[in-house]
Amino acid sequence: MTTNEMWGGRFARGPAAIMEAINASIDFDRRLYAQDIAASKVHARMLANRGIISQADADAIARGLDAIKTEIDQGKFTFSRALEDIHMNVEARLKELIGDAAGRLHTARSRNDQVATDFRLWVRDSIDAMEAGLAAFQRALVKKAGAHAATVMPGFTHLQTAQPITFGHHLLAYVEMAARDRARFQAARRTTNENPLGSAALAGTSFPLDREATSRELGFASAMRNSLDGVSSRDFALEYLSACAIMATHLSRLAEEVVLWSSPAFGFVRLSDAFSTGSSIMPQKRNPDAAELVRAKCARVTGALVTLLGVMKGLPLAYAKDMQEDKEAVFDATDSAALALAAMTGMVEDMQPNEIAMRRAAGEAFSTATDMADWLVRVLKKPFREAHHITGRIVAMAEARKCGLADLSLGELQSVEPGITADIQSVLSLDASVASRTSFGGTAPDRVREQVRYWQEQLK
């Protein structure tokens, strides 16, 4: 086996097969090729502008890099594991295309600051794509919420029927979660958007670089101020993964609800064939496989965050080869999160609520009991704790008679609390209960429509 020429003369023998297998990252870091080529072009242009390399060499490097990008885009590039990573693969091909001028590209930089730059550019692009996906998810939720601002369904605590709410109100809760997800991605973008290029291996370089120029051309807000931090920090990736993991948790919660809602036991929504599958043995089955897979994909995202935290927690400054393990976790999490987000957006657009089943379920389990207690406080001026106790006795009576609260006669209600009048019936219907929740952020249809209008404006 020949010596890896990129390492130079320090190593007399090439790596053993096992070492090559564990050391190579080209199988996954090839995904950085567009960012690697873009950063290399900017670096070469800066070197020429500073008189560090000739303009002729910079022009040749740019032409060669453009040709390599075209080859990779068209699937014509041959990647070599012997060359370890995307940087060496590109540089080796560049030498084949333009000769010795290719060797001048690596002046005043190291693979350490090169990969840090490429990775930040890749994460920044992924953040922008994830934020756009979240906006589409929000628009789908808002549209469905607007159509069902007054569709009554049960609200749950402890997965037990609590109070009636509207389907639109329920969906808007996820719009709010997605808004915070977007804010987290925006914060991660600010952290990511710093330029490590020029940090070199760890100590900077003696060449007169123009780091402001490379930062400007690559769209970074500024150059990183410490070369050790520039090559060894991966907290930007951790912050990105954290945002992905929290978003994935929100998606998984909605996916779990879709699984429940689409089951015969609930029957709240129906997914079309586009997001359902059948059973190989039971012809009657409609399985919410897309929602179930979203739950599982989201677990992988959380796992990626834990993986990178584990990789980074014990590393002294500066760069260590452990950091090669950062990219697979981020790539996998990005793929899983983006797919889960797209699938969940599609399911929101696709699902059709069963308004009859929702309303029937909302009327079960004495869901307007709180409205009764509130009436006792508001009309009879009872302390809430006393009103709660009175209502509990009335619920027990209705339970014993196997009827709803509204089905009890006035005499039966007065046997528990003599001050009750026929007016109490005005708060015991589902529609009256929902309409009464007019506090800001409440489930009253008018409030839901108000929030729909707000989000429509925000999402333009």
> Which token pair is 125?
């692009």
Length reported for the chain: 460
How many other C-beta atoms can be found within 10 angstroms of the C-beta atom of residue 52? 19
Spatial separation of the C-alpha atoms in residues 90 and 32, rounded to whole Å: 11
- Note the pLDDT of residue 23: 81
Number of CB atoms found within 10 A of residue 27's CB:
12
CB atoms within 10 A of CB 270: 15
Q: Are strands 222-223 and 194-195 parallel, antiparallel or unpaired?
A: parallel
Q: What per-residue confidence (pLDDT) applies to 2?
A: 43
Residue 10 confidence (pLDDT): 60
The CA-atom distances, in angstroms, between 381 and each of 113, 300, 418, 436 are: 71, 54, 14, 18
What pLDDT is recorded for position 3?
Answer: 46
Question: Do residues 113 and 22 make contact, with C-beta atoms less than 8 angstroms apart?
Answer: no
β-strands 352-353, 269-270: how paired? Answer: antiparallel
Write down the pTM of the prediction: 0.90
For 208, the token pair is 């007169």
DSSP 269: E
Report helix, strand or coil for 267: coil
pLDDT for residue 187: 98
Taking CA atoms, 300 is separated from 225, 288, 293, 305, in Å, by: 34, 19, 11, 9
SS3 72: helix
Tally of CA atoms within 13 A in the half-sphere of 345 that contains its CB: 17
d(CA 257, CA 273): 18
Token pair, residue 290, equals 């897309």
Exposed/middle/buried for 357, CB within 10 Å: 0-12, 13-18, 19+?
middle
Got the DSSP string for 13-81? SPPPHHHHHHH--HHHHGGGHHHHHHHHHHHHHHHHHTTSS-HHHHHHHHHHHHHHHHHHHTT-----G
**Cα(409)–Cα(427) distance, rounded to whole angstroms?**
15
Where in the sequence numbering do the catalytic residues fall?
Answer: 158, 279
In which residue are the tokens 């400054």 written?
317
Q: Which two tokens stand for residue 121?
A: 């550019």
Which residues are CB-contacts of 2 (< 8 A; sequence separation ≥ 6)? 14
Please report how the helices 55-73 and 86-98 are oriented relative to each other, as an axis angle in degrees rounded to 10.
120
**Max CA separation in the chain (angstroms):** 100
Strand 194-195 with 160-166, pairing: unpaired
pLDDT tens across the length of the chain (460 residues): 344 555 555 665 666 778 878 888 888 899 999 999 999 999 999 999 999 999 999 999 999 999 999 999 999 999 999 899 999 999 999 999 999 999 999 999 999 999 999 999 999 999 999 999 999 999 999 999 999 999 999 999 999 998 999 999 999 999 999 999 999 999 999 999 999 999 999 999 999 999 999 999 999 999 999 999 999 999 999 999 999 999 999 999 999 999 999 999 999 999 988 887 665 555 455 788 899 999 999 999 999 999 999 999 999 999 999 999 999 999 999 999 999 999 999 999 999 999 999 999 999 888 889 989 999 999 999 999 999 999 999 999 999 999 889 889 999 999 999 999 999 998 889 999 999 999 999 999 999 999 999 999 999 9
